[in-house]
């Protein structure tokens, strides 16, 4: 199996929350009019953080980003996200 390279300098705001992810915002507002409160400094996602949100998924509460998967992502054109 080919190894997927990750660009540790680029963060993808479309990545799913996982071990390498950071939280950069908290979703508030309503379903019809959601709002994001941005954190001053991104915080790492921890197992405890994920456990505290159950049964709601972290993606429903947090805006997260993870290192760019480069060639492992369908949105990567070889140089940039599209």
C-alpha span between 19 and 47 (Å, rounded): 8
The DSSP 8-state label assigned to residue 15 in this structure reads S
pTM of the model: 0.70
Q: Going by C-beta distance under 8 Å and a sequence separation of 6 or more, which residues neighbour residue 44? A: 21, 22, 23
pLDDT of amino acid 78? 82
Q: What mean pLDDT comes out for the span 13-27?
A: 83
pLDDT of amino acid 19? 65
Kindly report the length of the chain. Answer: 82
C-alpha span between 21 and 66 (Å, rounded): 4
């Amino acid at each position: 199996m080919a190894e997927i390279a990750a660009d540790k300098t680029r963060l993808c705001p479309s990545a799913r929350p996982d071990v390498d992810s950071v939280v950069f915002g908290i979703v508030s507002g309503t379903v019809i009019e959601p709002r994001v409160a941005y954190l001053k400094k991104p915080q790492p996602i921890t197992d405890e953080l994920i456990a505290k949100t159950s049964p709601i998924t972290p993606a429903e509460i947090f805006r997260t980003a993870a290192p760019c998967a480069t060639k492992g992502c369908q949105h990567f054109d070889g140089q940039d996200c599209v």
